[in-house]
Structures are given as C-alpha cells and as structure tokens.
Structure 1
Amino acid sequence: MNDAWLKSVLRLLEQYGIAEFEYEDDTRHILASNGRTSEIGRVRHEEPTPPRQTIEIPAPFIGIFRSAHPDTREPTELPRLVRKGEIIGYLRIEMLLRPVLAPQDGVLAEQLVGDGALADYGKPLFRFHPAGR
C-alpha cells in the first residue's frame, strides 16, 4: 500500500483543524497529530505481535493526587493519546497545585491512584504506553 492516502488525510486534518488521527489495520498502526505522524508498529502476519512497551509514570513529588484541574467539571477518560509535556494530572501541596506531565508521546492507559489519595514521591500514578518511532 502506498502512502498517498495518508498524505491526503493529513491535508484534510490541517484543512479542517483536526488535531489528532489514529489509524490501525492488520499491517499498520499510525498516529497523526499536528502534521506529524508516528508509526507505532508494522505487523507481519507470520510473526506474533510484540508486546507493547509499558511504563509507569511516577509522582515527581509528594502531594494529594487529582486527575483533573479543580475547575474542570468532567474527568478525562482513559485510555487516551497524550503528547510530551501535556498535563495528565495534578499534585496538590497545601495551596499549591503542581502539574504532572507526560514524559513523551504515547497512550495514557490506566490511572493507578485514586483522586484525593496521597501520592508519595515516586509512587506510580499512571500506566503509559510510549509511542514507537
């Protein structure tokens, strides 16, 4: 399969202001965001699919965990695509609310700490699947 269709889709994303696009079939898994594309992996029918790398995102400091900003009415649903540096949660330390950032592009798969729970330094907050390059 040639990639002319992908170039057409990227032009449409830009034209209509669509931020993200994900495509997956038997042979490809592609993430497109803001004109950049990442191919998560090619799958060959003869070979088993390698397991997706999973990492845990630890608390960068101690605090009370919040999955969303207090002004936000609706919590974000998981799994979801995130970009490097995107705010994925917050830690409250007395009156200070500090963001927890995505370490790289990928899929935020699972929240490991409940809202309002005390998160010690280094405690795993999320399960995360980094995007392949």
Structure 2
Amino acid sequence: MKVQEIRELIKLVDQSGIEEFVFESAGSKLKMKKSTGTTTYAAAPEAPVAQPAPVQEAPKPAAPAIQDAPAPEAPKSAADDSNLHKITSPMVGTFYQSPSPDADVYVKPGDKINSDSIVCIVEAMKLFNEIEAEVDGEIVEILVKDGQLVEYGQPLFLVKPE
C-alpha cells in the first residue's frame, strides 16, 4: 500500500463517524482507531499492533475577563510561506534525509522536484517509508533535521509549486 493511499484512508476515517478501521492486504495490516478526539495510527506486517497510550490533554486555563493587549505576532520566516506547498509527514516516525548515513541527501534547498520524487524517508516501527513530493516545484526550505522525530501531519518541506 502506498503512502498516498494511507493518507487518503486517514482523511476519510478522520472525517467520518467511524471510531475504528482495520484493513488487511497482502500480509500487511493497517489499524486506525479514534479516541477522545484524537486519532491513533499503527501499521505492522502480520504482527499484533501495539496501540500507544491515549494522549492526555492538559487542562486549559480559564480565559481572562479582560484582554487589553493583542496577542503578539509570530515572527515571519525568511520566505513568505502563504504561496508555498508544505510536504507533511504521513506518520509518526524518524525523519531521514538520505537512504543511508553515507549516501547523498534526497533533496536540498533549490532542487527541482516532480510529484513522484522521493524527498525523504520516515522510519516507523522498523519500516523505512519513502515519502514522495506529490507536487512539482522547487524545494525552498527543509523544516526538520536529519534523525529528528516527526509527528503525523508535521510539515517537513516547503516547496514553491510550478
């Protein structure tokens, strides 16, 4: 199953009223389960799936009665990212810029890419998943460091679409 197909399944389950979804095909099993407003994802080949503990949200402080000052503005990045495409992580895992420690990186800022270009690897549960760009354009910025843990939906790259 391709990463894009998994992304589409995640979106469909997330937008639906389904609480739990299991898909098995060709020796692989994909299980998605919603709990307390968050969705957890796990995939493993023919092995029991260990579900992470539910995420506990910290209690939100009460809103102040009077707000005198407006919230401070976030600092602007070097590139205005409103017209840039974000390549996001399709899963929780470890981000790698190259196929092996001694190999060249897949992409660097300024590189031209097409929609099926592999831009990085995200390792999850000892499986190395190649991440495709899904857009034609130019890499503007790499938002994470090699070996960094990434979350589902976390932006990895900014791309100037063509």
TM class, shorter-chain normalised? 0.5 to 0.7
Match of residue 106 from structure 1 = 137
For residues 77 and 64 of structure 1, what CA distance do their matches in structure 2 show?
A: 18
Query: If you compute each CA radius of gyration, which structure gives the higher value, 1 or 2?
Result: 2
Q: CA deviation at 1:107?
A: 0.7
TM-score, with length taken from structure 2 = 0.46
Question: Which of 99, 105, 113 is matched with 1:69 structurally?
Answer: 99
Shift of 1:71: 6.2
Q: Deviations over 1:55-77 (max 9, x none)?
A: 21110111100011116522243
- 2:118 maps to 87
Counterpart Cα distance in 2 of 1:63 and 1:106: 25
SS of residue paired to 2:98: coil
Question: Match for 1:55: what amino acid?
Answer: H
Q: Which runs of 5+ in 1 are unaligned?
A: 1-50
Cα offsets for 1:65-98 (capped at 9, x unmatched): 0011116522243221001111000101132100
SS at match of 2:83: coil
Q: In the alignment, what sits opposite 1:22?
A: none
Q: Closer, same or farther in 2 for the Cα pair 1:112/1:94, shift >3 Å? A: same
Percentage identity across aligned positions?
26
Unaligned runs of 5+ in 2: 1-80
| Larger RCO (CA under 8 A, 6+ residues apart) | 1
SS of 1:89's partner is strand
4+ residue runs over 3 A deviation: none
Look up the equivalent residue of 2:141 and give its one-letter code.
E
TM-score by length of 1: 0.55
Q: Does 1:78 align with 2:106?
A: no
CA distance in 1, matches of 2:85, 2:150: 18
Which residue does the alignment assign to 1:125?
A: 156
User: Which amino acid is the alignment partner of residue 68 of structure 1?
Assistant: S
- Equivalent residues of 1:52, 1:129 under 8 A apart: no
Q: What CA deviation, in whole Å up to 9, does each residue of 1:16-38 have, x standing for no partner? A: xxxxxxxxxxxxxxxxxxxxxxx
In the aligned structure 2, how far is the partner of 1:87 from the partner of 1:73?
14
Equivalent residues, number: 81
Higher strand share: 1
